[in-house]
Structure 1
């Protein structure tokens, strides 16, 4: 089974991830590892809600999500996290975390309210687990659910092994005697020792000197693997989160996006600046053209579909493959900041 990454969302997620795995990295996201006979990484967006980028990063790394539900139910922040996960099409499971202090009647009420929020999302049919993060009651059932979820992810990754190699970089640093090491996730294809690849958007050619997966040396790593790549031909200070080590990618500073806006947003207008979250990339975009039903428009609103074209105002070119799914966010929105699902078409 390949390595699997789950983003842990919702109220009380910190207590849950600490009870499930050992933390090995902390920035605006916390990474916890678990050995279940397969390698599992749990991602907690600890920088959220102050940083929407932390949430987008966690979801950009994730294969699926675990959403924590407290005895008081979902709050507005949990709703925003569920919305973002759903826009990316991520599935997963719901984890009720207050089993030790909840009556069956209250539990059923919380579940009913939660299911109403989940209607129409990618999690509306998600299974439930019921645990106590204090007494650890129910953890065995949760692990059974996680194992089944990861088995389904394995089948999905098996379909991606033959695609061109694509590694999304999370971080990079120098290791004495090794040189530049880039940490990231193999999103497609397979990366092997002595592969010659390109770092996008830099256009810098590199050679893979060695590969580690959870501190073990390997000769190659398939789609789904979280890897450490020792790279020849680049310095770690040149690598940033969101860059892509790949055999082929496209670049654009004026992306063309096919968008579907969420049902509860004020929408956007021509001239507005929104944020694009694509993979682990984040960039502000000034909207120059909105088209809907074959006509130019000045505004697009809640629940509508359109195509947007614009210009990145910072960061540099966006790395993409045609059809990649991204999130559009309005950081000044009064409600949920994630406003649309966008497919990058050019």
Structure 2
């Protein structure tokens, strides 16, 4: 079975969480401050029921530039992007940055929702669609379907749901199975439940995990056992690559885990302070990538500071790519083929990845 994770993206207040609520009847915003302020601050989670009875996980990410690090923690495990663009505003700065990030992360499939159509006349909707097409040209979203929607009136929600079903079918048809690889789950949330103890959540990026399996916590390779597994609020016996999962872990305190720690098959991943990469400079980036530039590096839910060493030039212009080595100040746990994002040290802004 091929499992697909959907990730929202788009500028703040362009209706990402409202879309998820309209599509699923679940509220992805879980923090009190999010509900009070009406904006997404941290990652939210839900799922979409599919016609064949299976479910696709949804990761709802924040749109504000201050919370891009939270967005990156969720975007690294996404298979299909759902880009929200408000019809009454069009493409905005975080729309552009999110498109660039998703493109650098190697995401190949997407759907564009033109949101808040109840606030725009026909001419404004046409202008917004043209704006979207101009800014997605040359990216994986260039030919993505655009669906006009309103979470207030319900306009287009069923059409969007059907469009997602069709794209998910295409994703599955072109999917390269990761189930046979060693298990790995980058942790994105940790909490405790009365009567159960420590629970972590994340997306299974590779492999299969069964109840009772012995795994390891990284960094440190601390041995752990999986007591129970939940997928989409249902207790199950196993979780596979592409599924959102909650794991109950006995014998470890909540403060020993955090976003950025990794659960994996023992001995299957290793920490390194050097990453050999093909570095792509993001189109439209405001800062040049120069040799020995200090940057923030994001890899799944992990992050670290490091310096970029360009191997065949002294500078990398926006839109160019080159072999490089990233020399990290704190080791990260990478596997061959992992995608990453680099952001300028200060002011913090996305400048590349690969």
Interval of TM-score (by shorter of Structure 1 and Structure 2): 0.7 to 0.9
Structure 1: gaps of 5 or more residues: none
Match of residue 66 from structure 1 = 82
Equivalent residues in 2 for 1:13-162, closer than 5 Å = 13-21=16-24, 22-23=26-27, 25-26=30-31, 28-36=42-50, 37-46=53-62, 48-71=64-87, 72-90=89-107, 91-155=109-173, 159-162=177-180
Choose the corresponding residue for 2:351, options 327, 336, 339.
339
1:255 paired to 2:272 = no
Paired residues of 1:61 and 1:280 also in contact (CA < 8 A): no
Q: Deviations over 1:46-73 (max 9, x none)?
A: 3631122022123124221111122231
**What's the TM-score once normalised by structure 2's chain length?**
0.85
Residues 127 and 179 (structure 1 numbering): CA distance in 2 closer, same or farther, change over 3 Å? same
CA drift at 1:170: 1.3
Residues 23 and 162 (structure 1 numbering): CA distance in 2 closer, same or farther, change over 3 Å? same
Choose the corresponding residue for 1:317, options 310, 323, 331.
331
Match of residue 219 from structure 1 = 237
**What's the TM-score once normalised by structure 1's chain length?**
0.87
Q: Number of aligned pairs?
A: 333
CA drift at 1:104: 3.7
1:264 paired to 2:284 = yes
Match of residue 6 from structure 1 = 6
Secondary structure at the aligned position of 1:23 is classed as coil
Q: Deviations over 1:119-140 (max 9, x none)?
A: 1111111111111222111111
Q: CA RMSD in A?
A: 2.4
Match of residue 299 from structure 2 = 278
Q: Distance in 1 between matches of 2:71 and 2:64?
A: 6
Secondary structure at the aligned position of 1:325 is classed as coil
Q: Distance in 2 between matches of 1:299 and 1:276?
A: 18
Q: Deviations over 1:237-271 (max 9, x none)?
A: 11121222112112112222221212333322233
Paired residues of 1:157 and 1:224 also in contact (CA < 8 A): no
Q: Distance in 2 between matches of 1:221 and 1:31?
A: 16
Secondary structure at the aligned position of 1:18 is classed as helix
Residues 156 and 244 (structure 1 numbering): CA distance in 2 closer, same or farther, change over 3 Å? farther
Paired residues of 1:2 and 1:38 also in contact (CA < 8 A): no
Paired residues of 2:77 and 2:205 also in contact (CA < 8 A): no
Secondary structure at the aligned position of 2:204 is classed as strand
Q: Distance in 2 between matches of 1:167 and 1:152?
A: 25
Paired residues of 2:62 and 2:68 also in contact (CA < 8 A): no
Q: Distance in 2 between matches of 1:155 and 1:74?
A: 31
Secondary structure at the aligned position of 1:188 is classed as coil
CA drift at 1:190: 0.7
Q: Deviations over 1:92-123 (max 9, x none)?
A: 10111133344444333322221111111111
Richer in strand (by share): 1
Residues 311 and 236 (structure 1 numbering): CA distance in 2 closer, same or farther, change over 3 Å? same
Secondary structure at the aligned position of 1:255 is classed as strand
Residues 339 and 110 (structure 1 numbering): CA distance in 2 closer, same or farther, change over 3 Å? same
Q: Distance in 1 between matches of 2:237 and 2:175?
A: 19
Paired residues of 2:86 and 2:117 also in contact (CA < 8 A): no
Residues 33 and 125 (structure 1 numbering): CA distance in 2 closer, same or farther, change over 3 Å? same
Structure 2: gaps of 5 or more residues: 32-40
Match of residue 35 from structure 2 = none
Match of residue 321 from structure 2 = 305
